[in-house]
Amino acid sequence: MKRVLVTLGAVAALATGAVAGGGAHWGYSGSIGPEHWGDLSPEYLMCKIGKNQSPIDINSADAVKACLAPVSVYYVSDAKYVVNNGHTIKVVMGGRGYVVVDGKRFYLKQFHFHAPSEHTVNGKHYPFEAHFVHLDKNGNITVLGVFFKVGKENPELEKVWRVMPEEPGQKRHLTARIDPEKLLPENRDYYRYSGSLTTPPCSEGVRWIVFKEPVEMSREQLEKFRKVMGFDNNRPVQPLNARKVMK
């Protein structure tokens, strides 16, 4: 029952795009950094004792070859606002768009960003990673992970960057319609594994789909995000333990 309650709390935060302050204060360094999350609150215990935590290092050679079904994407342009919650920049969606995974609809609630990437591939970080967080009707979570490399300016990302709130707690409405699918790579081959949320309460049972192909963003876009955040907002990779990564 305790684990279910933790998951439902996470679901509420994901669905509302809640800003920092809803639980024990946490961060990415010092006494409130990732190595201490599990001690900050009983609600965050999974950050400390969980055996299926995220992110992970994806070893492409060790990943198990499997007949992974294509991820069917049915997104709509229903973004509501952009918020700086003190941990990331988050785009909160209306929840009408969805993906189909394992024959179930998972509705897009929000997407947010990390620099450098949280997942690594063969021990190496990408400069940036986006997480698209989805919930099904029962509160189960699927997250799509997208890597970014430095290259040309990303027009869809720029629509968010134009109104990026610079102070924690600030939110701003978008001035342009966002098509989330344009932030996904053209090649939809992916890695899949069972993991957790990468922030407190670190709830497990999350379906992770991490696309192999990165998309591009400009150096200026990357540096703007890093300047606004003021710190690296990536949780260190976690032990794989008994899990297998499929490809």
Residue 190 lies in domain: 52-229
The helix (run of H) or strand (run of E) holding residue 141 is strand 141-150
| CATH classification at residue 159 | 3.10.200.10
Q: Are 116 and 126 in contact (CB under 8 A)?
A: yes
The pLDDT of residue 6 is: 41
pLDDT at 8: 44
pTM of the model as a whole? 0.92
Q: Tell me the C-alpha to C-alpha distance, in Å, between residue 64 and each of 57, 86, 188.
A: 14, 37, 17
Say yes or no to pLDDT of 89 above 90: yes
Q: Is residue 151 part of a domain?
A: yes
Note whether residue 44 is domain-resident: no
Q: pLDDT, tens digit, for every residue of 134-186?
A: 999 999 999 999 999 999 999 999 999 999 999 999 999 998 999 999 999 99
Which residues form the catalytic set? Answer: 87
The CA distance from 107 to 141, in Å, is 9
Residues belonging to the binding site are: 112, 114, 118, 131
The binding site for Zn(2+) comprises 112, 114, 118, 131
- The H-or-E segment that residue 4 falls in is helix 2-16
Select from 45, 44, 46, 50 the least CA-distant residue to 22. Answer: 44
Are 61 and 21 a contacting pair, CB within 8 Å? Answer: no
Query: In sequence order, what are the beta bridge partners of 148?
Result: 128, 215
* Predicted pLDDT of residue 9: 46
Q: Is residue 116 part of a domain?
A: yes
Whether 35 maps to a domain, the answer reads no
